[in-house]
Amino acid sequence: VTARDGWTERTDVQTVWVLRPQEDAIQVLTAICPHLGCSVQWKAARGAFACPCHDSEFAPDGARRHGPARRGMDPLPVRITHGEVQVRWVEFVAGAAERRTTDGSPVDGQGTA
Ligand code: FES
């Protein structure tokens, strides 16, 4: 993720989860927990994504199962161009039940290509 302003350019590395809900589709979820921002991990033994900080758990499609997170994992805009998966990084407001981006951009059309 590269961010620019009038004086600087900064590159950050972010973690995402790339899922294949169907053979001809992919879905991308941010690994940032929607509760307070820890890194969500896949737990194969539980068949779920889980957050190590406060034990929120999410289904394989990112839907909330239980824990203090008030919504499911956040989907990111994705497209496939010439066989390459391209993901647009978006930051979401932590702790809220409804999904909102930190910059107020719309969240429609995100998550699946
Ligand atoms: S930060 Fe993930 S459950 Fe609290």
CA of 80 relative to ligand 1 center, distance in Å: 31
Q: Please give the number of the atom of ligand 1 that sits closest to the Cα of 33.
A: 2
pTM: 0.88
CA of 33 relative to ligand 1 center, distance in Å: 6
Residue nearest to ligand 1 atom 1, measured at CA = 36
Residue 67's nearest CA partner among 101, 42, 30, 95 is: 95
One pLDDT digit (tens) per residue for the chain, 113 residues: 777 888 888 888 999 999 998 888 899 999 999 999 999 999 999 999 999 999 999 999 999 999 999 999 999 999 999 989 999 999 999 999 999 999 888 766 566 66
- Using CA atoms, how far apart are residues 50 and 61, in angstroms rounded to an integer? 12
- Look-up of token digits 């004086």: 7
Whether ligand 1 lies within 6 angstroms of the CB of 36 is answered as yes
